[in-house]
Amino acid sequence: MTEPKKKTSNSKKAFVFFNCDGNKSEQSMNIFYNHIVYKDTQASRKLLWSKIQNERKENRIQISDDNLAEVKRLILEDDPVQAGNYMMFGAIKVVDCF
């Protein structure tokens, strides 16, 4: 009897969280400071959500309590980049992986 194959993501994208200024200017997003890349997998999305929670706890980013559930949903289930719309001093960018 063979074991069922595990689902793997065929996605060729990944996400990077950046601390940034209030305007989210690309000049303020430092890849040498924020250098962790989160694959488009459920496990990596959970790690990204954990990172966001920690950044908020440490007051490096701001997310209103009213928007926190939506940010979590976007990161874990939908488009993490859109979660950045609810953050002050933080952004998530997508990168293509080959």
On whether residue 58 sits in a domain, the answer given is yes
With cut-offs at 50, 70 and 90, classify the pLDDT of residue 10: low
CA atoms within 13 A on the CB side of 71: 24
What total number of domains does the chain contain? 1
Give the domain range for residue 74: 13-96
Mean pLDDT computed over every residue of the chain = 91
On whether residue 2 sits in a domain, the answer given is no
On whether residue 8 sits in a domain, the answer given is no
On whether residue 7 sits in a domain, the answer given is no
On whether residue 80 sits in a domain, the answer given is yes
pTM across the whole model: 0.85
